[in-house]
Structure 1
């Protein structure tokens, strides 16, 4: 089963578990009903922005719809791309307090991506491996170069940018659990 099929299957399961119709999830997420139907059937490539829009409405981390990074040991995990950022899930850690997704990310040279707010109390941290990233809150972005890092709330709109060359880094997205998740 390919990435599109796996993502589609998981999206459909999460939607049904949440008791939402295709129309209702499309309305709440701002993703077209036709697009959502094609995603669930594996006929459409998911974008990072679309998957975040859907998983945020479902109250789940992005990793809930991506392949398990440990599946197919020795094979490179599939990446999901957005308008400026490509993210490859490399780890998911979960304890009583939170789920943390760890991604290997690339921000395209000269690109800027505006990301919508994620579920409440979500935070993000980026460790820069190469290049210079401009990330965080749009009105007060942080700049981090090789070996540097930035941390920001991700339950509000935030940005990723690479103004002077491609950026490579490791992104940690922490989703605190709701009391009912424990």
Structure 2
């Protein structure tokens, strides 16, 4: 077990227990196996980006609540890899009633990443710097080329994939209303 996985696991357990949610109930709500969730809490499983977002959404917290110790600077976060996306947390901004998470994302060609819904009211905003990105609601994804911006409500299943053979480099800003998130 590495230190990062143990940290994610202990934060996950603390958040789950603070909400009075059983392991089984959270696994069901997040749409993941109970053994997977138990392994995450114990630090014996390497969490994927998709799994972390599913658990964060089920708990009603932003991703940073799982990947960073409270009060730690974003630079302490490490890359989190999903099926197609590798995300690096750059900054967290707090405004009255809203949390913003700014991430650098790289999307590998040839794979579609299915992202679970976030908490109600969460939106995603992507600016593409390299490559062509297809992302957004799974039933109606949007297209963005270098220099273009797309955004959508992320409280529905959504996807990320490249169009063509080139990797996509972009920034992702996740806006989470704090009324739906308890940290």
The runs of at least 4 aligned residues of structure 1 exceeding 6 Å deviation read none
Give the distance between the partners of 2:133 and 2:182, measured in 1 at CA. Answer: 34
* TM-score computed with the length of structure 2 as normaliser: 0.90
Corresponding residue for 1:63? 64
Give the Å deviation of 1:166: 0.5
Say if 1:110 and 1:166, in contact at 8 Å, map to a contact too.
Answer: no
Which residue of the partner structure matches residue 82 of structure 2? 82
Distance 1:32 1:140, change over 3 A: closer
- Residue 130 to residue 180, structure 1, CA distance change in 2 (3 Å): closer
How do residues 74-113 of structure 1 correspond to structure 2 at under 5 angstroms? 77-113=77-113
Between the aligned partners of 1:89 and 1:136, the Cα distance in structure 2 is: 20
Check 1:171–1:178 CA distance in 2 against 1; reply closer, same or farther (3 A cut). Answer: same
CA offset at residue 52 of structure 1? 1.0
Q: Find the aligned partners of 2:136 and 2:48 in 1 and give their Cα distance.
A: 20
Match of 1:122 in 2: 122
Check if 1:30 corresponds to 2:26.
no
Task: Quote the RMSD (CA, aligned, Å).
Answer: 2.0
Tell me how far apart the structure 2 counterparts of residues 143 and 37 of structure 1 sit (CA, whole Å). 37
- Counterpart in 1 of 2:158? 158
Q: Which ranges in structure 2 are unaligned for 5 or more consecutive residues?
A: none
Quick one: distance in 2 between partners of 1:178 and 1:79? 28
Gaps (5+ residues) in structure 1? none
Counterpart position of 1:175: 176
What is the Cα deviation at residue 139 of structure 1? 3.3
Q: Which sits farther off after the overlay, 18-27 or 164-173?
A: 18-27
Tell me the distance in 2 between the aligned counterparts of 1:180 and 1:34: 26
- Provide the TM-score with structure 1 as the length reference: 0.90
The whole-number CA distance in structure 2 between the counterparts of 1:125 and 1:179 is: 19
1:46 Cα deviation after fit: 0.3
After superposition, the Cα gap between the structure-2 partners of 1:135 and 1:120, relative to the gap in structure 1 and judged at 3 Å, is same
